[in-house]
Structure 1
Amino acid sequence: MIPAYSLGEELMKRGHRVALLTDERGAKIPGIFEEGQVHILPTGRLSGGPLAKLKGLRSIWTARKMALELIKTFQPTAVVGFGGYPALPTLLAAHRSKLPTIVHEQNAVFGRVNRLMARKVGAIATAYKKVERLDSKYAHKVHVVGNPVRQAILDIRTQDFPPFLPDGIFRVLVTGGSQGASILSDVVPDGLAMLPTHLRRRLQVTQQCREEDIDKVRERYAAHEIPAELATYLNDLPDRLAWSHLFIGRAGASTIAELTVAGRPAILVPLPIATDNHQTFNVKDMVEAGGARSIQQPQFTAKELAKQIQKMAMDPASLENAALAAHKCGYPNATQDLADLVESAGGDPLTDTIRIRPSEQGLATAKESLARTSDQKESV
């Protein structure tokens, strides 16, 4: 939802009309699409047993019919899908209506819905140069743009890494996504407590926890005499990230995008049940660059966490170098580049202003993948 929201804001700034079609869960996320139109469609999944798949197909068909009616009313000149089953009915309706379509893949593994639509869409925008399960026969459609992030995260990119002095405060930010992660609540307090005394005494921790975990985590930090601020939701997360020396958390696409744009080092624990194990692939670029360390969940123990933190934080220069490495992995122009791609799809046959990063898989020109003979319209 964050990449979709960021793109929508950019397109509205450029004078376009924007509508969001999503499911009930997406529409409930606070603070997004307050100015654009929002339409809720039923969600269907093609998983489970025969009855579950049949029910999913019916929901998708119903949502497709609703999307077709909305397309007639809104008259868009381009449709952009951000993966996931909520995007499928609208993409199918757009293809039926012969509209220019684009999919954006946030993860380093091409998602199931995007795989289903790859043959039908005009362009595929990706967040990584190498994307697993993306068939090479679609390489001519690929545009590497990165993952759009919020402006508050972009603002961090121009700021210096917070001073990390031998006797200064060591600020650690811990989150597990929008709902927290119990594994972090179980491991992180004890892992931080195992750090050498001179490092442990400098700690200042901010941690997002599940509501059912927060009292337990608070007791652990108190027992270890580690100052910690805990919350179930951090509405000032960009400010927290700006002042942090080290991030500990999951490896979701938006998390990686924000860490690399902001330039903050991290210890990442990929979610083992993520579809197609995509979080393990998400961390590869950042780890190989030296901006992060990845610990698979079965190996994520207090002892292993303490060992990895020491490797990164015992020498102030090491942590600063990791921050610089993370910074180099970021795509700060992702929102603008994706908006350019959308405009080239929905406008005249082609404008030469599109700014795209070359893909190692082979990148087609916008003319090859998106040239259309439609007239310029007002809405996107």
Structure 2
Amino acid sequence: MRGPILVTAGGTGGHMFPALALARELRGRGEPVAMVTDRRGARFMPEDLEAHLVRAGSPTGSLPRRLAGICALVAGIFDAWRVARRLKPRAAASFGGYASVPAAIAARLAGRPLLLHEQNAVFGRANRLLARFAEVIALSFEATSAVPERGRARLVVTGNPVRPGFEADPAGYRAPGPNEPIRILVIGGSQGARIFSDVVPAAVALLPAELSRRLRIEQQCRPEDLARVADAYKAHGIAAEVAGFFTDMPAHLARAHLVISRAGASSLTEIMAMGRPSILVPYAAAADDHQRANAEALARAGGAVRMLQASFTPVALAAELTALAAAPERLEAMATAALATFRRDAAGRLADAVLALVPATGESP
């Protein structure tokens, strides 16, 4: 009997979404799959795919927190070892986040080959811990920094898989004409970033009336910010939809002429997949400043404007919005560059890479 491919990821959407994309691709090829994550990751699991939960923690922060995190990781390795011993996986694919460490180590202790996938333009800390054990390291960005030199892994650039539904309009992107509505989508990751609630309405209030009346804003906010953001737009006569969460993100992206967003890997990949121009404001406290590296990668390709959080003020944003609205050809060039940067079929390339590690017999050793 064939053992499954073990797919493991940390408990955030940035790690779980590409892991689930690989799981779907493998299952579509008739391959059995076992998902391993922690309790946080379980909330992203679809009903038709079982999650094997392990304990995990982060070995960072204060000394007590580091010790607690290390103890949780050790306990998680025992959890994952029991899963691996029972399921006998043929190979493992790990997508980063500290919750991926136990299953990846358990797979290697069981003698199974390991593939690592890095979603960001900076190699993550959990993946750095695991790099020495990997046969293959798959990157989303060709110029990913901090990839460990040690180890025997082969580097491949696969891109970052996206969830179903994020596909560019075959008709392409068309910037709004001089008197047409301008649709702006404002998103801040799994929860709306508070800085967008503070800055975007204030920036819109500074725009000339002939521009502000054309705006159609769709903004994701934290629940505690919903009322004040909606009131701010209403006070200036701006048509706006404000929500704590958008359930149909592909539809919102598809109708957007411009996206204002953080620069997490999942959000960035979805923006590129849909071919949308964007203003990216990296989260300044992200580990290893990886959001800044992500934003710079797309900005260098011509697909985005990068604004650092320290300089993301109402005046600066109003100036950028005014400049972009006056240059539809620039918006269209950014959209073209964003789509060109997206690597299609990343899940397929990842599936090819991990299946290439499986012994030719296809049986678990």
TM-score per shorter chain, which class? over 0.9
Per-residue Cα deviation, 1:157-215 (whole angstroms, up to 9, x for no partner):
53421451111110000010111110000000111222232221111110000000000
Query: Is 1:191 matched up with 2:236?
Result: no
1:285 deviates by 2.2
Query: Is 1:16 matched up with 2:16?
Result: no
Q: Which runs of 5+ in 2 are unaligned?
A: 1-15
Change (3 A) 1:149 1:157: farther
In structure 1, the partner of 2:113 is 100
Query: Is 1:78 matched up with 2:64?
Result: no
Per-residue Cα deviation, 1:226-250 (whole angstroms, up to 9, x for no partner):
0100110100110010010000010
In structure 1, the partner of 2:193 is 181
SS at match of 1:10: helix
Give yes or no for contact 1:261–1:330 (8 Å, CA) kept in 2.
yes
User: CA separation in 1, counterparts of 2:195 and 2:299?
Assistant: 21
Compute the RMSD of aligned alpha carbons. Answer: 1.6
Give yes or no for contact 2:137–2:153 (8 Å, CA) kept in 1.
no
Query: Is 1:376 matched up with 2:362?
Result: yes
Give yes or no for contact 1:16–1:378 (8 Å, CA) kept in 2.
no
User: CA separation in 1, counterparts of 2:76 and 2:150?
Assistant: 30
In structure 2, the partner of 1:251 is 263
Counterpart of 2:189, as a letter, is: G
Query: Is 1:27 matched up with 2:42?
Result: yes
SS at match of 1:230: strand
SS at match of 2:132: coil
In structure 2, the partner of 1:226 is 238
Q: How many residues align?
A: 350
In structure 1, the partner of 2:350 is 338
In structure 1, the partner of 2:4 is none
Change (3 A) 1:214 1:148: same
Give yes or no for contact 2:26–2:33 (8 Å, CA) kept in 1.
yes
Per-residue Cα deviation, 1:62-97 (whole angstroms, up to 9, x for no partner):
111111111122121111111111001111111111
Change (3 A) 1:157 1:85: farther
Give yes or no for contact 1:162–1:243 (8 Å, CA) kept in 2.
no
Pairing of 1:58-73 with structure 2 (within 5 A): 58-73=71-86
TM-score by length of 2: 0.92
Query: Is 1:322 matched up with 2:308?
Result: no
User: CA separation in 2, counterparts of 1:157 and 1:147?
Assistant: 19
Give yes or no for contact 1:269–1:294 (8 Å, CA) kept in 2.
yes
User: CA separation in 1, counterparts of 2:174 and 2:317?
Assistant: 22
SS at match of 1:305: helix
Give yes or no for contact 2:274–2:339 (8 Å, CA) kept in 1.
yes
TM-score by length of 1: 0.89
Counterpart of 1:134, as a letter, is: V
Give yes or no for contact 2:132–2:150 (8 Å, CA) kept in 1.
no
Give yes or no for contact 2:174–2:332 (8 Å, CA) kept in 1.
no
Give yes or no for contact 2:56–2:99 (8 Å, CA) kept in 1.
yes
Change (3 A) 1:272 1:258: same
SS at match of 1:26: helix
Give yes or no for contact 1:287–1:294 (8 Å, CA) kept in 2.
yes
In structure 2, the partner of 1:125 is 138
Counterpart of 1:107, as a letter, is: N
Give yes or no for contact 2:185–2:259 (8 Å, CA) kept in 1.
yes
Counterpart of 1:133, as a letter, is: A
SS at match of 1:116: helix
1:330 deviates by 0.6
Is the deviation greater in 248-257 or in 302-311?
302-311
SS at match of 2:356: helix
Residue in structure 1 matching 2:69, options 31, 49, 56 = 56
Is the deviation greater in 80-89 or in 70-79?
70-79
Is the deviation greater in 70-79 or in 85-94?
70-79
User: CA separation in 1, counterparts of 2:224 and 2:271?
Assistant: 27
SS at match of 2:137: strand
User: CA separation in 2, counterparts of 1:69 and 1:182?
Assistant: 42
Change (3 A) 1:209 1:302: same
Give yes or no for contact 2:121–2:297 (8 Å, CA) kept in 1.
no
Change (3 A) 1:157 1:67: farther
